[in-house]
Amino acid sequence: MKWNVPNILTMIRIACTPVVVLLFLLNIPYGIGVFVALGVYILACITDFLDGYIARKYNMVTDFGKFMDQIADKAITTSAMILVLLATRNVAVTWLGVVIVLTVVLRDTIISGIRMVAANKKIVIAADIFGKVKSFFLDIASMILMLYVGLAACLTGAENAKIGAMPIEYIRCFGLALMIIGAALAIISCVNYSIKAVQALKESSEEKEKLQ
């Protein structure tokens, strides 16, 4: 394993995951823990952009980096989604959250399996734009919903609750809408990636038959 800047950034993102979870779940008054967790999550998302950019620009791509980058992305994104979708204690939102999380996790599992099969046949399938946009929507949605949870915790008084309930409900609805869009993009990405994989495997098989 080579400790270069991209790999260090990836490991920082992995380390951010338990910090975000712990801060979010701690019952710190006025939502301070949630707001700090939001800051750490934003930092983790920034490292996600920087490690890939630096690795490609300065030719620092390593097998370890590619492997750990996927783990870091899934760990921080899935953890944040579960936290924010279950924090509101609303039955409808909880069920919606379960469907969204299962959709995203299942999509990642399927694509990981496809990549393994393709790698065994020495086939490289490029990531599609839907997957990248999906990650962007899910990250922004998680940030917005963390903001909602933090603001809701600030409204401790009955009078403040009446004043602030409606505006922050708009924030939650916006975050949930982005989360649903992200889940839809995850499905589209999975279908598109599967089609590309089938075509690549078929072409590889036909080439081998011609050589024989």
The pLDDT assigned to 209 comes to 66
pLDDT tens-digit profile of 70-106?
889 889 999 999 999 888 667 888 888 889 999 999 9
Give the pLDDT mean for 139-163: 77
In a domain, 212, yes or no: no
Residue 185 reports pLDDT greater than 90: yes
Query: How confident is the model over 138-142, as a mean pLDDT?
Result: 95
Does residue 188 register a pLDDT over 90? yes
| Contact predicate 149/84, CB 8 Å | yes
Find, among 39, 42, 16, 19, the residue nearest to 150 by Cα: 39
Examine residue 188 and state whether it is found in any structural domain, yes or no. Answer: yes
Mean pLDDT score across all residues of the chain: 86
| Stretch among 107-111, 116-120, 173-177, 191-195 having the lowest mean pLDDT | 116-120
CB 57 within 8 A of CB 119: no
Tell me whether residue 164 is in a domain.
yes
Domain residues for the domain of 52 are 5-206
Q: How many domains does the chain have?
A: 1
Q: What percent of the chain has pLDDT over 90?
A: 44
Q: Which of 125, 126, 146, 139 is nearest to 38 (CA)?
A: 146
Average pLDDT on 26-41 reads 92
Give the pLDDT of residue 207. Answer: 74
Instruction: Name the pLDDT band for 166 (thresholds 50, 70, 90).
Output: low
- Please give the Cα distance from 25 to 123 (Å, whole number): 43
* Percent of the chain topping pLDDT 70: 90
Write the single-letter amino acid at 17. T
196 domain-assigned: yes
Q: What CATH number should be reported for the domain holding residue 74? A: 1.20.120
Residue-wise pLDDT for 53-74, tens only, equals 888 888 888 878 878 888 898 8
Confirm whether 211 is domain-assigned. no
